[in-house]
Amino acid sequence: MCGIVGYTGPRQAYPVVVKGLKRLEYRGYDSAGVALVNGDLKVFKKKGKVADLEENNVGKDLNGHIGIGHTRWATHGEPSDRNAHPHQSQSGELAMIHNGIIENYAQIKQELLSKGYTFKSDTDTEVLLNFIDDIKKNNNCSVEEALRIALKRVVGAYCILLISKDDPETIIAARKGSPLVIGIGKGEHFLASDASPIIEYTKEVVYVNDYEIAIVRPDELILKNLGNEKQTPYITKLDMELAKIEKGGYEHFMLKEIHEQPETIHDCLRGRLQVETGEIKMGGIQNHIDALVNADRILMVACGTSWHAGLIAEYVFEELCRIPVEVEYASEFRYRNPVVKKGDVIIAISQSGETADTLVALEKAKEQGAFIFGVVNVVGSSIARISHAGAYTHAGPEIGVASTKAFTGQLAVLMMMALKIGYAKGTISKERYLHLMNELDAVPDKVKQILADTSNIERIANKYKDATDALFLGRGYNFPVALEGALKLKEISYIHAEGYPAAEMKHGPIALVDENLPVVFVATKDSYYEKIISNVQEIKARKGRVVAVASEGDNVITTMSEDVMFVPECDEVIAPLLSTIPLQLLSYYVGVAKGYNVDMPRNLAKSVTVE
């Protein structure tokens, strides 16, 4: 969370930085700011979105060929103009932006206060900046050297960009835990939290590693470690298209990304799922097939929507591979003392590949000898790089804060993995294996069918938009889908929603049911169908308002539900890939009907790089 951008080169920096910040707004949008050097060091910042900053800057002198900019997701200090980044050192000589958390900032602040420093903001960033400036003064050293000394004291995570009044060419950057990409142009450099602000200028990038410092000038990029030793920058070619990060005629990124799913799921399966030959080609699995087939246990580690993908995968892996699976919240896993041993396989699931809790959990498990397999969307991200092996989801850049197409991409990858491992292990028959391959292959077209006409879902959304609470219920493979449906509604429409196993509802949530409560059943035709129909009856008997996601042609559930959203029939193992789509649309349309910014829901951020 927090997006950072930097530019040094012959162009005007302000437009480059502001455009980049707009691309990174999914990372946080509590405030935005830019610092430029043009004779003097000038800082412009404002509470709110990047557009508010731009409006506030109309008519100002925004010239300068070097600039840094920040879009904030608040950690230390409320969202306000004064807590917005960039921060300026007390001497006025340095300006800095930061993504991350300095955990020992209070102690450093105390030391600086006793030296007579005063602070304009409540942020940990301003403390680190003055600490660097203080070291520079006391040691009579360069900013780079002062930064290096300061970072040795710092506990926490950071990606920082630093510029000085006296140096109209150099941006100094450092990273630990929070991402940083540097784009290499002709006589110019671009810095950003991800590649999206860079893509229109250059395809050559360097991913900076933890504990590295970058000294970036228009025609020079020097990478060093904290020991001041030069590192060789490893240049990667970006495989990303500009069109993929623009709205392409849709009103919101979320809607565009929901509608992209036939294509993204197809891209994910393409070249891997070879129905004609009965093969699943996944290099990451094939190269480590023994570790995977012989795994004593699989631990899925993830957060948010990715955690729900893990829960679905638990059902699929246990069914098809007969390997015990545990699904862990990364934030809990990293702090308790989990039992991890050699022979355990950790499957890390993450859209961004940068979620701090997931990243640290993996580092911990890796130290204990586990094999790490990453299921990641963002190519070259930190989780992708620390994994022993992995499979990308190939969903393309996901900008909407609520995850949609990345989630179905994760499911597609995990289902292919389970099929491949189960078949290699002999825990599924050839017949079932081939049947499920065909079922997976048919998913993109079936998703297309659901998306062909969304007017019924939009109507249902408008009907229930004023509900204050909602319950989402499912069984088996569709239970985690219910959890994800509830999460989506909370995120986008701010309606309190809970997901529950449909039968477990009797042990508490049923007390909430009255004639106002919408109860969304995910009740496609599967081996639990008869059971869930009984649960529907139980809700109806208490006058709850039943909304169902059901299989096409089901005319039993229509008699019991106020409203139904149909999906094509499919094997129950595959069902979550379809049953989740109407729920994404439902929350989207409720959010829109309520007038909310569905791409940037309040308080949330997409890439959570703080713990």
Catalytic residues: 2, 606
DSSP 165: T
What per-residue string of b and e applies to 106-122 under the rule 16 or more CB within 10 Å gives b? eebbeebeeeebebebe
Phi first, then psi: give them for residue 393, nearest 5 degrees: -85, -20
What per-residue string of b and e applies to 564-602 under the rule 16 or more CB within 10 Å gives b? bbbbbbbebbbbbbbbbbbbbbbbbbbbbbeeeebbbbe
d(CA 155, CA 131): 14
Least distance from C-beta 537 to ligand G6P, angstroms?
34
Least distance from C-beta 351 to ligand G6P, angstroms?
4
Residue 185 or residue 353: which is nearer to ligand G6P going by CB? 353
Dihedral angle over CA of 502, 504, 508, 512, nearest 10: 0
Q: Point out the residue whose Cβ comes nearest to ligand G6P.
A: 304
Residue 99 or residue 352: which is nearer to ligand G6P going by CB? 352
Residue 164 or residue 607: which is nearer to ligand G6P going by CB? 607
Least distance from C-beta 301 to ligand G6P, angstroms?
10
Which residues are CB-contacts of 245 (< 8 A; sequence separation ≥ 6)? 23, 196, 199, 397, 399
d(CA 144, CA 155): 19
Residue 144 or residue 599: which is nearer to ligand G6P going by CB? 599
Least distance from C-beta 350 to ligand G6P, angstroms?
3
69 touches 6 (CB < 8 A) = yes
Per-residue 3-state assignment (H helix, E strand, C coil) for 415-456: HHHHHHHHHHHCCCCHHHHHHHHHHHHCHHHHHHHHHHCCHH
Least distance from C-beta 202 to ligand G6P, angstroms?
25
> Can you give the binding site for ligand G6P, defined by CB under 6 A?
303-306, 350-352, 355, 358, 401-403, 604, 606-608
Residue 84 or residue 402: which is nearer to ligand G6P going by CB? 402
Residue 421 or residue 604: which is nearer to ligand G6P going by CB? 604
Least distance from C-beta 374 to ligand G6P, angstroms?
11
Least distance from C-beta 321 to ligand G6P, angstroms?
23
Burial of 278 (0-12, 13-18, 19+ CB in 10 A): exposed
Dihedral angle over CA of 24, 25, 26, 30, nearest 10: 140
d(CA 572, CA 522): 12
Residue 358 or residue 454: which is nearer to ligand G6P going by CB? 358
For the record, the structure tokens of 48 come out as 């709110």
Residue 522 or residue 604: which is nearer to ligand G6P going by CB? 604
Q: Which residues on neighbouring strands pair with residue 173, listed in sequence order?
A: 161, 214
Nearest Cα to Cα of residue 488 among 354, 308, 302, 350: 308
Least distance from C-beta 404 to ligand G6P, angstroms?
9
What per-residue string of b and e applies to 502-522 under the rule 16 or more CB within 10 Å gives b? bbebeeebbebbeeebbbbbb
For the record, the structure tokens of 496 come out as 């309190």
Least distance from C-beta 493 to ligand G6P, angstroms?
15
CA 225 to chain centre: 28
Residue 405 or residue 525: which is nearer to ligand G6P going by CB? 405
For residue 198, count other CB atoms closer than 10 A to its CB. 27
d(CA 422, CA 155): 43
Q: Which residues on neighbouring strands pair with residue 204, listed in sequence order?
A: 237
